[in-house]
Chains A and B, each alone.
Chain A
């Protein structure tokens, strides 16, 4: 006898588990199927554990570089116990993952561990160690996520040739790492590995890093710091092959038409992620998948099959956890009969490099393309902010882009300390249709990093206090 539910969510990542909880809150009999771990990539091998590693190495870096100036004297060397670090990182993930389990239980969501496959638009089968069971539901939410892209000749073993998953589990500090792909994942890992003392070579096919992903001015700050820290970046470079050498590996890289060899102990491939459209037998339900493997959805995240929805990485860019969670809530509410569509003005993006980059809204190029012919652009440096100075983290700036005629805020780009936490204010401002004056006139507490938002708004208007600007032309 097949178990039957109102809503079955496939995948318990940041999209799926949120959709399941919201469905339960709305009174649906809900189940969530997860083959690996609650919280998905994000909580277990992505966002959360990487942040643990970044936090620890950031402190290490401060201890090595700032403590002396601050008068904090440490006897002897600061050593890293990598096994302990990884253990601690794992405990953070475990804590979060079990927290999701508690929430699901608390809301009465049935959690089924196993691998789901569609049999029809109304039925799935779930394979687990206990065997196979059939489950039927009125509605399905496909939240099966994405996986790292493999490139030819670099098959993941997650020990020496790794995706982000393997990289987060190194139990000793690697001496030399070749990072193929200078996107945000590659750079985050490069940043913290470098702080642990690893020699890092980034092999990037494009002529610049984070191209088209973040504001180029912001990317430059990070690239400069990587350079200064001794990270080698090869631009316009293509990793062709690798072979095992006497010690470690040799990666053959084609650059400027010539082949070069990068020697390393570990190879990290972070060229992007691909949606798992080829899994869970979506065809059996009649779900349309595009040529890149994304499930096709409409503004309500409904697939071409009336009772099946798709959220998160599986349904399109940007592949970000917070977008997935938002869609999870949205879809549960649509199923409950509410008139909802995905209607966010912006999905903020955050890169946990050193310093952090965060952005919301449009870049200059996007604003121009959207018909904002005249822009007002302002910048305010963290160097002029008291809190940043007291933290000894003064690199970076806040940049604002507004429509020159209406002063409506179009985009905010931050590179600097705590950029990831500062961007939320910008998201709210953009969603609320704020004008630059709204930000300038809201009293921001002193001394905080948040003041830079207010000051940047003033700079955009041409009269920031803590930087010297040319007088306003009437």
Chain B
């Protein structure tokens, strides 16, 4: 009884997600509601649960590929009692499959089970088969190593997830095996080495050469075969391409061996190479759909220092999303930044005085929530900072709510969680929320919704360093406020030398809506509140 597990609805308006990694392997038995994969949507990683229990048959996608909502992600051999699940459209209501005590249903009765090449590491899409550790007819135990595979300088042993009898070895030593390709077919249950059943017809072993569903897998494969980002000669391979095309492929960083040619007799044409390299040639696959907003972003090839020590890893996941967002923002928004210094003795004193109070309330107050409050008060004066441009409609959108984003530094890169309706929350509440969101951001546990809908963003680099910066606006917002570290400075006041505390602030704004003068006024008004936090009290609603 096979069940297809599909990618469920991931949230309002989300039609697809990028597969970050598989949490299960073929042969694993899963319980109902067990997460099977991590999928990245709009900067949030969500775990996709399996609605039913069963044994994972095969994984339909590779990390880095874009999966549409409703696409089948894995095939499950559901336990005997499973309903012939009419695929529940996205309703993640677990099917009442009597949840079995999850013993891996061994592929009984000559059932064939494909053992595929699992993920070998971040950005690794293939490996070279060094040697087989088993031969056809061997019985293997679960977790027994079946082969040694070499990836970018490391040799790893590939284990079989289940027990069984080894059928056909699908590759020869020296072959390059793509992640997800079937390496062997196992038959029969483990233990009693039954006479190997006739190998069942292959499930759907992707043919190594023709990359199945070349969806969004960027072609820049980093493989064992590319030393220093220099593709080896292809003259000796079966690929048909003219010398000029072969050179073009090399220059655009396209491994021509991985392309299926559209030309006569399967020739790889100039256009095939350009398409694979993200060149300006339209392709039929949705892979190269222009980035959101209908913009085409230039994708120049990088020519390495010939022979210099370089390593290539696929640009996927959060990093790719950040790259796209930053590039889009810089392409759309004419940025400018205005900078100023605030005297923060009063602010520092205020925060110090509130330490115990905050602790009693089970939190810690940093400057960030106070800055947010000062910012909201200033935005009320200057509503343009809480606007967006709807370029498609040619309209300015003024928002009457205050969702404040703050930049969080995480191991995988920058994410921006949002404090929703911050104007209606106390500084204490905002503090708690910041601490919680930051922690979950670092752990990669934010929900997509928690990173959406900001009206304006604060970035606090002061904790790390730097006097001033020119941050990038989080489009479609129109401004980003930067706060920097607190410093002590000598000033002369009434003929006396005094030490005061200062803090730098920057306001980076979208010049289409906001002029320099306006930004300067905003920053001055904002700094007025920072220098005299009492104003915030007086203004409170």
Q: Which residues of B contact A432 (CB under 8 A)?
A: 242-243
Q: Is residue A408 within 8 Å, beta carbon to beta carbon, of the partner chain? A: yes
Q: Which residues of B contact A342 (CB under 8 A)?
A: 233
Q: Is residue A257 within 8 Å, beta carbon to beta carbon, of the partner chain? A: no
Known A-B contacts A339-B304, A339-B306; A344 and B243 likewise in contact (beta carbons under 8 Å) = yes
Say whether B303 contacts A408, CB under 8 Å.
no
A299 to B307, CA, bound (A): 10
Q: Is residue A48 within 8 Å, beta carbon to beta carbon, of the partner chain? A: no
Say whether B234 contacts A300, CB under 8 Å.
no
> Chain B 208-252, CB within 8 Å of chain A: the 1/0 string?
000000000000000000010011111110101111001100110
Q: Which residues of A contact B266 (CB under 8 A)?
A: 406
A218 shortest CB reach to chain B, Å: 23
Interface residues of A in 340-356 (CB under 8 A from B): 340-346
Say whether A341 contacts B230, CB under 8 Å.
yes
Say whether B242 contacts A339, CB under 8 Å.
no
Chain A interface size, under 10 / 10 to 19 / 20 to 34 / 35 or more:
20 to 34
Say whether B235 contacts A344, CB under 8 Å.
yes
Say whether A431 contacts B232, CB under 8 Å.
no
Identity of the chain A residue whose Cβ is nearest the Cβ of B232 in the assembled complex: A299
Say whether A343 contacts B234, CB under 8 Å.
yes
A334 to B233, CA, bound (A): 14
Q: Which residues of B contact A300 (CB under 8 A)?
A: 230, 306-307
Say whether A345 contacts B235, CB under 8 Å.
yes
Q: Is residue B264 within 8 Å, beta carbon to beta carbon, of the partner chain? A: yes
Q: Is residue A296 within 8 Å, beta carbon to beta carbon, of the partner chain? A: no
Q: Is residue B265 within 8 Å, beta carbon to beta carbon, of the partner chain? A: yes
A343 to B227, CA, bound (A): 15
Say whether A338 contacts B265, CB under 8 Å.
no
A435 to B230, CA, bound (A): 29
Say whether A337 contacts B235, CB under 8 Å.
no
A298 to B230, CA, bound (A): 11
Known A-B contacts A432-B242, A433-B265; A343 and B307 likewise in contact (beta carbons under 8 Å) = no
A433 to B239, CA, bound (A): 9
Q: Which residues of A contact B351 (CB under 8 A)?
A: none
A299 to B227, CA, bound (A): 10
B306 is contacted by which of A338, A371, A431 (Cβ under 8 Å)? A338
A334 to B250, CA, bound (A): 12
A339 is contacted by which of B240, B243, B251 (Cβ under 8 Å)? B251
A234 to B152, CA, bound (A): 53
A342 to B247, CA, bound (A): 10
A337 is contacted by which of B231, B250, B303 (Cβ under 8 Å)? B303
Interface residues of A in 33-87 (CB under 8 A from B): none
A447 to B143, CA, bound (A): 72
Q: Which residues of B contact A339 (CB under 8 A)?
A: 230, 250-251, 303-304, 306
Known A-B contacts A299-B233, A345-B235; A340 and B242 likewise in contact (beta carbons under 8 Å) = no
Q: Which residues of B contact A345 (CB under 8 A)?
A: 235-236, 243
Q: Which residues of B contact A341 (CB under 8 A)?
A: 230-233, 250
A343 is contacted by which of B243, B264, B303, B306 (Cβ under 8 Å)? B243
Known A-B contacts A299-B230, A299-B233; A408 and B240 likewise in contact (beta carbons under 8 Å) = yes
Q: Which residues of A contact B242 (CB under 8 A)?
A: 431-433
A334 to B308, CA, bound (A): 11
A435 to B240, CA, bound (A): 11
Q: Is residue A119 within 8 Å, beta carbon to beta carbon, of the partner chain? A: no
A145 to B304, CA, bound (A): 30
Q: Is residue B204 within 8 Å, beta carbon to beta carbon, of the partner chain? A: no
| Number of B residues with CB within 8 Å of any CB on chain A | 26
Identity of the chain B residue whose Cβ is nearest the Cβ of A371 in the assembled complex: B238
A302 to B236, CA, bound (A): 20
Q: Is residue A442 within 8 Å, beta carbon to beta carbon, of the partner chain? A: no
B441 shortest CB reach to chain A, Å: 39
Q: Is residue A225 within 8 Å, beta carbon to beta carbon, of the partner chain? A: no
> Chain B 77-99, CB within 8 Å of chain A: the 1/0 string?
00000000000000000000000
Identity of the chain A residue whose Cβ is nearest the Cβ of B234 in the assembled complex: A343
Identity of the chain A residue whose Cβ is nearest the Cβ of B307 in the assembled complex: A302
Q: Is residue A306 within 8 Å, beta carbon to beta carbon, of the partner chain? A: yes
A124 shortest CB reach to chain B, Å: 21
Q: Which residues of B contact A346 (CB under 8 A)?
A: 235
Q: Is residue B267 within 8 Å, beta carbon to beta carbon, of the partner chain? A: yes
B38 shortest CB reach to chain A, Å: 35
Q: Is residue A407 within 8 Å, beta carbon to beta carbon, of the partner chain? A: yes
A407 to B264, CA, bound (A): 11
Q: Which residues of B contact A406 (CB under 8 A)?
A: 265-266
A298 to B233, CA, bound (A): 11
Q: Which residues of A contact B227 (CB under 8 A)?
A: 298
Interface residues of B in 452-499 (CB under 8 A from A): none
Q: Is residue B305 within 8 Å, beta carbon to beta carbon, of the partner chain? A: yes
> Chain A 424-466, CB within 8 Å of chain B: the 1/0 string?
0000000111010000000000000000000000000000000
Say whether A337 contacts B265, CB under 8 Å.
no
A34 to B231, CA, bound (A): 34
Identity of the chain B residue whose Cβ is nearest the Cβ of A435 in the assembled complex: B265
A342 to B243, CA, bound (A): 11
B239 shortest CB reach to chain A, Å: 9
A407 is contacted by which of B238, B265, B267, B306 (Cβ under 8 Å)? B265
Say whether A338 contacts B233, CB under 8 Å.
no
Q: Which residues of A contact B236 (CB under 8 A)?
A: 345
Identity of the chain A residue whose Cβ is nearest the Cβ of B267 in the assembled complex: A433
B247 shortest CB reach to chain A, Å: 7
Known A-B contacts A343-B243, A343-B246, A432-B242; A337 and B306 likewise in contact (beta carbons under 8 Å) = yes
Interface residues of B in 258-287 (CB under 8 A from A): 264-267
> Chain B 336-356, CB within 8 Å of chain A: the 1/0 string?
000000000000000000000
Q: Which residues of A contact B267 (CB under 8 A)?
A: 433
B307 is contacted by which of A306, A431, A435 (Cβ under 8 Å)? A306
A158 to B469, CA, bound (A): 77
> Chain B 367-408, CB within 8 Å of chain A: the 1/0 string?
000000000000000000000000000000000000000000
A66 to B313, CA, bound (A): 69
Q: Which residues of A contact B238 (CB under 8 A)?
A: 371
Q: Which residues of B contact A343 (CB under 8 A)?
A: 233-235, 243, 246-247, 250
B303 is contacted by which of A302, A338, A371, A407 (Cβ under 8 Å)? A338
B218 shortest CB reach to chain A, Å: 18
A340 to B229, CA, bound (A): 11
A194 to B199, CA, bound (A): 67
A302 to B230, CA, bound (A): 13
A431 to B233, CA, bound (A): 13
A431 to B243, CA, bound (A): 6
A435 is contacted by which of B233, B241, B243, B264 (Cβ under 8 Å)? B264
Interface residues of A in 297-352 (CB under 8 A from B): 298-300, 302, 306, 334-335, 337-346
Identity of the chain B residue whose Cβ is nearest the Cβ of A336 in the assembled complex: B306
Q: Which residues of A contact B303 (CB under 8 A)?
A: 337-339
Say whether A408 contacts B265, CB under 8 Å.
yes
A291 to B360, CA, bound (A): 79
Q: Which residues of A contact B304 (CB under 8 A)?
A: 339
A124 to B305, CA, bound (A): 25
A23 shortest CB reach to chain B, Å: 14
A432 to B270, CA, bound (A): 12
Q: Which residues of B contact A299 (CB under 8 A)?
A: 230, 232-233
Q: Which residues of B contact A302 (CB under 8 A)?
A: 307
A300 to B305, CA, bound (A): 13
Identity of the chain B residue whose Cβ is nearest the Cβ of A408 in the assembled complex: B265
Q: Which residues of B contact A340 (CB under 8 A)?
A: 247, 250, 306
A-B residue pairs, 10 tightest by C-beta: A433-B240, A343-B233, A345-B235, A432-B242, A334-B306, A406-B265, A431-B243, A343-B235, A339-B250, A339-B303
Could you write out 28 A-B pairs with CB less than 8 Å apart? Answer: A299-B230, A299-B233, A300-B230, A300-B307, A335-B306, A337-B303, A339-B230, A339-B250, A339-B251, A339-B303, A341-B230, A341-B231, A341-B233, A341-B250, A342-B233, A343-B233, A343-B234, A343-B235, A343-B247, A343-B250, A344-B235, A345-B236, A406-B266, A407-B265, A431-B243, A432-B242, A433-B241, A433-B267
Having A299-B233, A337-B303, A435-B264, one finds 6 other A-B pairs with CB under 8 Å, namely A299-B230, A340-B247, A340-B250, A342-B233, A406-B266, A431-B242
